[in-house]
């Protein structure tokens, strides 16, 4: 910053809140009558000190320019340059600097000064926010004097039905501190309107969603992953089916930002889980323009369309984590997106061998999304710790469990063709004599998460799979 | 801190408003595109339409989207626009 030109003569910077400044106020009044002109800047109250003409520095422009640490600070300025400087009250120094003696004879010899307001953490943060806010490019919306900011967000159509945090420039500037990326970097082109989404727009929607700045890299990665041809967020949004992005976070960032991978992992109550998933949904809504009843044609939808994001419990898992299985390093942080429809409960409280538990799982998986459909849908199985223990103790790797499930889920065509069992729905009649695999070979995503008590697992069914629908996408999170 | 200024979270994009192409008064002498979006049984509907239009002074062209779950590729959209006067799209199931 360019330092403001200081007037020649004596310059003092004070604040009323400082006892030493109040102590030297009579001295300043004396100096004001002297030969050298005196300019006093006040950091907190332009009426202090009394009896002296004061320059208002409550915006701290001069104090910041001087990199002030202490008040009072007394300067001798000549030709615009600082010639001499003293801090606090030390009579001999004040006398030498001002050329006036004696000064403040009824004052103690020495009193240390107080911290300059520029060092107040709130002030420094607000100044940093203001500097950050000035760089932002999004359209600014001035609210009316009597307009409620939360209601304003509803009225403008920015919310998912729940209240949002009003995206003030200061909040957005703080959110952007969570990433090293520049605010105008383009993250992705967001369907359905195919709008370029900048880091700043991600941050604004992160604020709306209630994110903390340290969540921002995860949200940015999720937006990148969603807006790929493989994931196909456009089709996923537009479908009449239930599904919507399900986000699984792996690696060190999950713990670092306090994500939940334990009790109630798929439920409410954790800020990071809740707001990261919500931020992605709000970006599709606000930046991409995808709204229910507009391009979103879901017949029924599902509650995960507010937010559906959780972390894998890697430490307690019997298996390698999802991101490692999908090709990333164990110490990488990653987001995996899956087009999921919701949570189906799966109960087995009696199986103590992997063979038995795999059969239970297969029986429940057979119904995704209909017992007589096959190959069109992928699935996530969230294996809880108590179910995971059965596979660990039985020595089953993740690959083994997947292979066993696929083998158990070979359907006899005659049972699943159209009309079989008195049900019109089903596979084409031509498959009557065939054996049909329920799932594609890579259709089963196995994830370990949940609370330590409960012999349950969760099944999250997919949407149309493969290149013609949505494929799971895993992306590394970078700062 | 002022909460009186908010930053716009939207794409800040106004959809361009375009005039609809004029509707033809008759299909006589026109080229009609029949677009199958690859939904099950869409072909049944379009086959029936083609039967209905056959024998009239109408040229029929058939098109198929690779998958109903994604927008039609831009080349396909241009091809339909260039070759057809009218397009009928079958949403099905």
| Among candidates B2, B11, B12 on the partner chain, residue whose Cβ is nearest the Cβ of A168 | B2
- Co-location of A194 and A343 in the same domain: yes
Give the pLDDT of residue B2. Answer: 43
A-interface mutation test, from B3, B4, B7, B11, most A Cβ less than 10 A away: B7
A214 and A94 share a domain? Answer: no
For A342-397, the pLDDT digits (tens) are 999 999 999 999 999 999 999 999 999 999 999 999 999 999 999 999 999 999 99
Residue A2 included in any domain? no
Residue B1 confidence (pLDDT)? 40
Best B1, B2, B3, B10 residue to mutate vs chain A (most A CBs within 10 Å) = B10
Closest CA to A245 of A193, A212, A288, A182: A288
Distances (CA, A) of A124 to A118, A130, A248, A271: 6, 10, 36, 27
Tell whether A35 is covered by a domain: yes
Asked whether residue A240 falls in the same domain as residue A338, the answer is yes
Q: Which of B1, B5, B8, B9 to mutate to test the interface with A (most CBs of A within 10 A)?
A: B9
A139 is a domain residue: no
In-domain check, residue A332 = yes
Same domain, A425 and A314: yes
Q: Is the pTM of this model over 0.90?
A: no
User: Does any domain span residue A49?
Assistant: yes
Pair A110, A160 in one domain = no
**How many Cβ pairs closer than 8 A exist between chain A and B?**
95
End-of-domain residue from the set A119, A140, A162: A119
**Segment A60-85 mean pLDDT:** 94
Query: Tell me, what's the ipTM?
Result: 0.80
Choose between B1 and A404: higher pLDDT. Answer: A404
Residue B40: closest C-alpha in chain A: A428
* Residues of chain B positioned with their CB less than 8 A from the CB of A169: 5, 7
Q: Based on the fold, state whether residues A99 and A155 are members of the same structural domain.
A: no
- The answer to whether A142 contacts B4, with C-beta atoms less than 8 Å apart, is yes
**Is A356 found in the same domain as A213?**
yes
The tally of domains found in chain A comes to 2
pLDDT in tens, A173-193: 999 999 999 999 999 999 999
Quote the pLDDT of residue A84: 95
Same domain for A112 and A157? no
> How far is A10 from A6, CA to CA, in rounded Å?
10
Query: Which pLDDT does position A422 carry in this prediction?
Result: 98
Q: In this complex, is the C-beta atom of A154 within 8 Å of any C-beta atom belonging to chain B?
A: no
In terms of domains, do A87 and A236 share one?
no
- CATH code of the domain containing A71: 3.40.30.10
| Residue A125 falls inside a structural domain | no
Find, in chain A, the residue whose alpha carbon is nearest to that of B16: A193
* A276 in the same domain as A417: yes
CA distance A279 to chain B (A): 11
CA-to-CA distance for A161 and A154, rounded, in angstroms?
Answer: 8
Contacts of B72 in chain A (CB under 8 A): none
Express each pLDDT in A102-134 by its tens digit.
999 999 999 999 999 999 988 888 888 888 888
Q: What is the nearest CA distance from A374 to chain B, expressed in angstroms?
A: 15
What pLDDT score does B15 carry?
67
Which residue in the set B1, B4, B69 is minimally distant from A468, CB to CB? B69
Asked if B12 is an interface residue toward chain A (Cβ–Cβ < 8 A), one would say yes
Q: Which residue range(s) make up the domain with A431? A: 149-476
CB B6 to CB A288 under 8 A?
Answer: no
Do A239 and A337 fall within a single domain? yes
Report the residue from A201, A232, A286 with minimal CB separation from B70.
A232
Cβ of residue B74 closer than 8 Å to a chain A Cβ: no
**What is the mean pLDDT, run by run of 10 residues, along chain B of 93 residues?**
80 81 90 93 92 93 92 93 93 76
Give the pLDDT confidence of A139-157 residue by residue, as tens digits: 999 998 889 999 999 999 9
- The arithmetic mean of pLDDT across residues A167-172, rounded, is 95
In a domain? residue A128 = no
Residue A181 domain-assigned (yes or no): yes
Percent of chain A with pLDDT over 70: 99
- pLDDT per position as a tens digit, A235-287: 999 999 999 999 999 999 999 999 999 999 999 999 999 999 999 999 999 99
Average pLDDT over residues A459-475: 95
Does the CB of A123 have a partner CB in chain B at under 8 Å?
no
List, for residues A14-29, the tens digit of each pLDDT value.
999 999 999 999 999 9
pLDDT of amino acid A1: 44
The mean pLDDT of A82-93, rounded to a whole number, is: 95
Query: A196-235: per-residue pLDDT in tens?
Result: 999 999 999 999 999 999 999 999 999 999 999 999 999 9
Looking at the fold, whether A221 and A115 belong to one and the same domain comes out as: no
């Amino acid at each position: 910053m360019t330092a403001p030109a200081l007037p020649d003569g004596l310059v003092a910077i004070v604040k009323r809140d400082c006892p030493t400044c109040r102590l030297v106020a009579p001295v300043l009044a004396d100096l004001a009558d002297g030969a050298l002109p005196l300019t006093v800047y006040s950091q907190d109250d332009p009426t202090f000190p009394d009896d002296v003409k004061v320059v208002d520095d409550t915006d701290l422009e001069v104090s910041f320019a001087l990199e002030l640490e202490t008040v009072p600070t007394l300067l001798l300025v000549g030709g615009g340059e600082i010639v001499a400087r003293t801090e606090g009250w030390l009579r001999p120094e004040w006398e030498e600097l001002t050329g006036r003696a004696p000064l403040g004879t009824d004052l103690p010899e020495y009193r240390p000064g107080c911290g300059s307001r520029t060092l107040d953490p709130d002030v420094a943060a607000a100044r940093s926010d203001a500097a950050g806010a000035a760089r932002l490019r999004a359209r600014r919306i001035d609210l009316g004097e009597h307009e409620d900011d939360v209601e304003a967000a509803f009225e403008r159509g920015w919310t998912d039905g729940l209240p949002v945090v009003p995206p003030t420039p200061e909040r957005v500037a703080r959110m952007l501190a969570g990433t090293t990326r520049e605010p105008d970097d383009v993250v992705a082109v967001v369907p359905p309107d195919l709008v370029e989404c900048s880091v700043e727009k991600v941050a604004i929607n992160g604020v709306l969603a209630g994110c903390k700045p340290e969540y921002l890299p995860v949200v940015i990665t999720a937006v990148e992953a969603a807006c790929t041809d493989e994931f196909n967020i456009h089709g996923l949004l537009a479908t009449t089916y239930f599904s919507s992005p399900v986000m699984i976070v792996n690696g060190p960032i999950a713990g670092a930002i306090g994500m939940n991978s334990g009790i109630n992992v798929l439920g409410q109550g954790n800020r990071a889980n809740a707001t990261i998933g919500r931020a992605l949904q709000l970006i599709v809504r606000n930046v991409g323009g995808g709204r229910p009843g507009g391009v979103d044609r879901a017949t029924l939808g599902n509650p995960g369309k507010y937010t559906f994001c959780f972390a894998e419990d890697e430490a307690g898992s019997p298996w390698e984590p999802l991101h490692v299985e999908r090709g990333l390093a164990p110490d990488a942080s990653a987001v995996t997106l899956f087009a999921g429809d919701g949570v189906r409960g799966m109960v087995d409280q009696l199986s103590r061998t992997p063979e038995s538990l795999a059969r239970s799982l297969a029986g429940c998986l057979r119904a995704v999304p209909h017992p007589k459909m096959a190959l069109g849908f992928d699935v996530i199985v969230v294996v809880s710790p108590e179910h995971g223990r059965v596979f660990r103790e039985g020595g089953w790797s993740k690959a083994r469990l997947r292979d066993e499930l696929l083998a158990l889920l070979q359907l006899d065509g005659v049972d699943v063709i159209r009309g079989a069992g008195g049900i019109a729905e089903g596979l084409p009649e031509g498959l009557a004599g065939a054996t049909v695999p329920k799932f594609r070979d890579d259709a089963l995503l196995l994830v370990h998460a949940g609370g330590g008590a409960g012999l349950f697992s969760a099944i999250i069914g997919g949407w149309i799979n493969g290149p013609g629908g949505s494929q799971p996408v895993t992306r590394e999170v970078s700062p | 801190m002022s909460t009186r200024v908010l930053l716009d979270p939207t794409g800040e994009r106004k959809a361009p408003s375009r005039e609809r192409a004029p509707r033809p008064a008759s299909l006589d002498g026109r080229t009609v595109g029949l677009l199958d979006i690859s939904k099950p049984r869409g072909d049944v509907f379009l086959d029936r339409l083609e039967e209905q239009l056959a024998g009239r002074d109408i040229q029929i062209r058939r098109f198929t989207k690779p998958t109903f779950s994604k927008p039609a590729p831009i080349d396909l959209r241009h091809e339909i626009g260039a070759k057809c006067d009218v397009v009928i799209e079958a949403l099905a199931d």
